[in-house]
Amino acid sequence: MRVLFFLLLRVDMEICILGPLVLSHTDRTIALTAPKPRSVLALLLLNADQAVQASTLIQDLWGRNPPASAQTTLQTYILQVRKCLGQLLGAAVAEIAQRMLVTVPGGYQLRLDATEFDLRTFEQLATAGRQALAAGENVEAAALLTRARDLWRGPALVDIRAGAVIGPRLRALEQIRLHTLEQCIEARMRLGHHQDVLAELTMLTAEHELNENLCAQLMVALHRSGRRQEALQAFHRLRVSLVDELGLEPSHRLRLLQRAILAEDPVLEVAPRDDGLTQILDHLVLAQARGR
């Protein structure tokens, strides 16, 4: 009965890391204020339901030169995290240690079970959205990927000090977020919503000025919205950035897209369509190879 009661408590718990760290339960919100315990909790959340070695936590907190007291200090931080979770759930620290933030061989494991966790929800929605997009189920894909996108409230764990372990994980997570945004836009463009994605694409290309896929999406959306000149200007901006920063020209596929816009290639005019940007670029490459 006690186990069931504890699980029911956690059904109403919500953890959010896709933005500032937020811990809430029913109508209560609680925060760890000390930076290092917050980092410990963040790393455990990024590895929810998996064992995290104490050595990994120590590396994130102190880098390559931890103090002699690192192991003892880490245990103190774990206790602080347990107290925080206990206060949030109205549970004893011992119960948290037994059922939620548990000690495992060599480290610790944060067991979330039925807890509402935005990262887990994002991963589920994004995976389902990608599968729907690959299957050509564009309405479903757009709905799922939009829900995944809307879970983000800013950069993940933006209020946490990014240590040697957390930093790379957050950068990888940001890349997953960007890829999901691209796929969400792709699904909406397949449905013919070219004008609806222009504002988002304009913002994203300004933020990621060397990203050729975003630029290609913007070029196609502008062209299909009757703004051919602006589509060509987007290509020019990308080319200038690539040459100035990396000494590189845009990819062959993007140059073919520019030429297709200049030539008003009919392949760009069909909207909505079941295929997407990758298929359009593939078509242009094959057409050139055949000497069209």
The token pair at 227 is 């703004």
Question: What pLDDT was estimated at residue 1?
Answer: 45
Interval 49-76 mean pLDDT: 96
Q: What does the pLDDT look like over 238-279, one tens digit per residue?
A: 999 999 999 999 999 999 999 999 998 888 875 555 667 777
Instruction: Output the CA torsion 14→17→18→19 (10° steps).
Output: 110
The stretch 98-122 carries a mean pLDDT of 92
In this prediction the pTM is 0.88
Phi and psi torsions of 118, nearest 5°: -65, -35
Instruction: For 219, list phi and psi in degrees, rounded to 5.
Output: -60, -45
Nearest 5°: the CA angle 23, 105, 8 is 35
Residue 250: DSSP 8-state: P
From the list 66, 63, 95, the residue with the least C-alpha distance to 82 is: 95
- 51 beta partners: 109
pLDDT tens-place string over residues 172-218: 999 999 999 999 999 999 998 999 999 999 999 999 999 999 999 99
Answer yes or no: is pLDDT of 72 > 90: yes
Give residue 114's pLDDT band: very low, low, confident or very high (50, 70, 90). Answer: low
> What does the pLDDT read at residue 199?
96
- List phi, psi (to 5°) of 188: -70, -35
Mean pLDDT of 141-147: 97
| Over residues 80-84, mean pLDDT | 96
Long-range contacts from 60-66, C-beta under 8 angstroms, 24+ separation:
60/163, 60/164, 60/165, 60/166, 61/36, 61/163, 63/163, 63/164, 64/164
Q: Is the pLDDT of residue 91 over 60?
A: yes
Cβ contacts of 109 within 8 Å, gap of 6 or more: 44, 49, 50, 51, 52, 101, 102
Q: Which residues pair with 25 in a beta bridge?
A: 13, 28
The confidence score (pLDDT) of residue 236 equals 97
> Which runs of E-coded beta strand occur in 36-162?
51-53, 101-104, 107-110, 116-117
Please state, in angstroms and as integers, the Cα–Cα distance from residue 175 to each residue in 44, 123, 254, 268, following that order.
Answer: 20, 13, 21, 28
pLDDT over 80 (residue 165): yes
Asked if pLDDT for residue 280 goes beyond 80, the answer is no
Query: 119 pLDDT exceeds 60?
Result: yes
